[in-house]
Structures are given as C-alpha cells and as structure tokens.
Amino acid sequence: MSQVEQAIDWLNELDPWAQWGVGIVSTFMALGIVRLFMKKVVLDFVKKTEVKWDDMLYAPVSKRAYLFTFLLGIQLTMNWVLGIEDSFVESFTPFFEATYIIISTSLLSVALRIMIPVIMDTFSDPTSVTVSGSNSLIIFVFRAAVWFGGLYLALSELGIELFGVLASLAVFSLIIGLAMQQTLGNIVNSFMLALDQPFEVGDRIEVEGKMGSVVSVGILSTKILTHEENLVVIPNNSLVNSTVINHARGGGDGVGRRISLVQDIGVGYDEDISHVKYTVLQLMRECPYVLPKPEPRVLLIELGDFAKVFRMYGWVEDYSDEYVARDWLLKNIDEQFKSEGIEIPFPTSVEISGKASPGLNKSHKIASVRKARLQMVKEDKQLNKERAAAKEEIEAITEKLKDPELDKKTKALLEEDLRELNSILSMFEAGGDD
C-alpha cells in the first residue's frame, strides 16, 4: 500500500506538462481497454446471438462509449492538473456534463429507433393489417420526447431555461399560426410525407387523374411534370388526403429508375407453345430498350376462349422509354409472327368457296417449331440454374449483412445487390410482377 501512495505522491509532484502527458497517455490506455472489451467480449457475444437488433446496436454503442471515455479522461486530467476548485475547470465542468447528457440522449434515441420496430413486430398480430409508415411516426414521437428531455437537462447545466424561451415564443407563435393556418398545414403535411415516403423525386406518380414525374417535394407543395411537359403543382394538404399511385419507384437523385414492361399477346390454339415463347423471347432480347438483366421472360398465363394468351415480362431502364419499347416490340412481333406463320386470332367471317386459299410454307413452319422446342428446353434449364444461383447468393449476402462491423458503404452496396436479386427471383417465381 505504501508503494501505491509513493507512486501517487510522485505523480502529484511532477511538472504540469508531465502531468498532462501522463493524463493523455492514461486516457488513450483507457480507450484501448474499452475498445478491447467491446471487440473481444461484447462483439463475440453479439455474433453468437441470432437476433439482429444487438448487431445494429453494437456500432452506435461502441462509438459513444469511446467518445465518453475520451471526454471523461480529459476532464479527470484537467481536474488533476489544475485542481477542482480552479476557475477555469469550474467554467468547463458544465460543458462536460452537458456533453455527457447529449451523448446519453443520443444513445437512447438510437436504441429507440432500433428497438421500437422489434417490439412492435413482437406484439403485433401477424394476421392484422400493417400500416406503412406507422412505425416511423411512433419512433419520431418517442425520439423527439427523448431529445427534448435531453436538451432540457443539458441546457439546464449551462444555465439556460428552455421553458422560459418557449414561453416567450408562445404568444407570437399563436398569432403566426392563426394567420398562416393553410401554409402551416402544408408544412406539417410535407413533414408527414417525409416520414411516410410514399414517393421520391424521380418517381412517376398519379394523383387525382394527373400522372407525371416528381420533380420536387417542397415544404408547401409537390411538383410533377406530365407527359405533355405541363408542370402540376399540388399542395401538400391535398396530396396527403388523396390516393397516390406510384407507377415507378425512383430515387433521390431525380432520375427515373427502371420499370417493368408487361404485355399480353394472344395466338391461335393451333400454334406450338415453345415456338411462340421462343419467338417472342428472342425479340425481347433484341429490343434496344429492354434490359438484359433481369432476364426477360415469356409465360403462358391463360387458355382463353379463342386464344392462348402469353404474357411477356421485361425491364426498361428508364420509364420514359416504356411506350417506345412497347411500340418496338409490338411492331416487330407482328412482323415476326407473319414471317414464322404464327396466327394472332381475331373475329372473322368465313366464306366457303371452291378454291383453297394459298397456305403458308408448312415445312418452314415445322422446322421453326422444332428449333424453338429445342431452344426452349435449353432456356428452361438455364432458368432453373439462374433461380438456384440467385437463391444461394441471397443467402450469402444475408449472412454478410449480419456482421455488425460492416461499414455503411459496404452495407449499402450489399443491400442494393440483395434488392436486385430479390427482384430477379420474384420474376422467376411469381411471373415478374413488381
């Protein structure tokens, strides 16, 4: 015990610059110990659990733990070198305490953002209807309450009364609110749109019969540009109370994203299924507007009264090319069907005469049918291989996303790949519907 006391006395007798050095070195040593504990103990425990919420909590908790340790080390060093009663130390103490409160508030806010959806999913009835965006609103309310309480405590440490500031603004806010009721309603509803996110800039939406691309989402109104290049300004109040149809989910960069192209084609009952599917599939692959990935598909969806109905599925990179792509496909399908001898049925009247009408080259059609059948066998085998590969890759990416040490950029790329694979798989298994 005497050796410990001697070491303490020796440290207290050091020059101030040496004491600062000892304090800083000790702070970084403490940071290393905390980091080692988080990596070797906490992270190992997190990886062993099957739940996902602790993986998401690990990164924010560890970062705030490092910051808290660093600030505490600096404060203790200041108290040791300068003395607790020093005026400089006393002036900085409230700032440190306010910072600790803000860090704790931030940690609690992040925990609420992660844990509330988990709790809601746990206690919700799986057979009930889930309202999209409701979790976001609940999370916002709780986090706002936490931040209000944290800021109140932090400002109190600094000698600032938050309620006094709010009370002085209450009368002024009431007057402004009455004078700008409609404007404030638009502002509030723009905030609600940001929470629910039914669309983004670049999406093609339809509101009250008006269809166009979203060019901007402001605090008062949302502007869409129609096909006729007319700018339609919709107040956010009206938008919130209307039914919004999002035809093409775009992105925040303002560029329209891909859209699925679906078209039905009917052929006569005498036509060979493989022949029709292969002919249409080749045309879709040749179309300059249809993306090669995900692969276009042609499926038999209905045996109608007068026709076999085939549905072709493809993706167009930009939804502004949808009608051009459809025009290209229909024109070339009509020409190719005539060349291949594939009949598109339509109501006709039959005239009986003694002369036989000149028929198509049957030998040519038989050869085309035989070739198409062989090709469709290969296509089906390739489809099954791609489906299995997509499933395996989805499982691999899902395992990678469980790693709590993933940086944001890598995680975003993996999630984008996962969405792409799920989209491809949905075309394989559900016929390509969005």
71 and 145 co-located in one domain: yes
In a domain, 184, yes or no: no
377 and 424 co-located in one domain: yes
Which residue, 188, 219, 248, sits at the end of a domain? 248
- Does this model's pTM top 0.75? My answer is no
237 and 269 co-located in one domain: no
Contacts (Cβ under 8 Å, ≥6 apart) of 337: 267, 279, 343, 344
156 and 25 co-located in one domain: yes
pLDDT value at residue 329: 92
- pLDDT, tens digit, for every residue of 118-129? 777 666 544 443
Number of domains in the chain: 3
pLDDT at 374 over 50: yes
In a domain, 352, yes or no: no
In a domain, 282, yes or no: yes
Which domain range does residue 386 map to?
Answer: 259-346+361-430
| Helix spans in 38-52 (H) | 43-48
pLDDT value at residue 129: 36
Q: What's the rounded Cα separation, in Å, for the pair 136 and 193?
A: 11
264 and 234 co-located in one domain: no
Best-predicted range by mean pLDDT among 111-125, 224-238, 251-265, 304-318?
A: 304-318
Read off the pLDDT of each residue in 41-50 and give the average, rounded to a whole number. 83
107 and 157 co-located in one domain: yes
CB 413 within 8 A of CB 406: no
In a domain, 61, yes or no: yes
In a domain, 178, yes or no: no
Best-predicted range by mean pLDDT among 86-95, 181-190, 277-286?
A: 277-286
47 and 91 co-located in one domain: yes
Q: What's the rounded Cα separation, in Å, for the pair 291 and 257?
A: 12
| CATH number of the domain within which 241 lies | 2.30.30.60
The DSSP secondary structure of 313-353, one letter per residue, reads EEEESSGGGHHHHHHHHHHHHHHHHHHHT------------
Which residue, 248, 273, 308, sits at the end of a domain? 248
220 and 290 co-located in one domain: no
- Percent of the chain residues topping a pLDDT of 70: 75
In a domain, 300, yes or no: yes
Residue type, 298: V
- pLDDT, tens digit, for every residue of 4-40? 677 766 777 777 788 888 888 888 998 899 899 888 8
Bridge partners, residue 207, by sequence: 210, 244
310 and 424 co-located in one domain: yes
pLDDT value at residue 132: 39
368 and 265 co-located in one domain: yes
CA 161 vs CA 88, 98, 104, 157, 173: distances in Å: 23, 14, 20, 9, 19
Structure tokens, 199: 């669309």
In a domain, 216, yes or no: yes
| CATH number of the domain within which 368 lies | 3.30.70.100
75 and 143 co-located in one domain: yes
241 and 263 co-located in one domain: no
In a domain, 186, yes or no: no
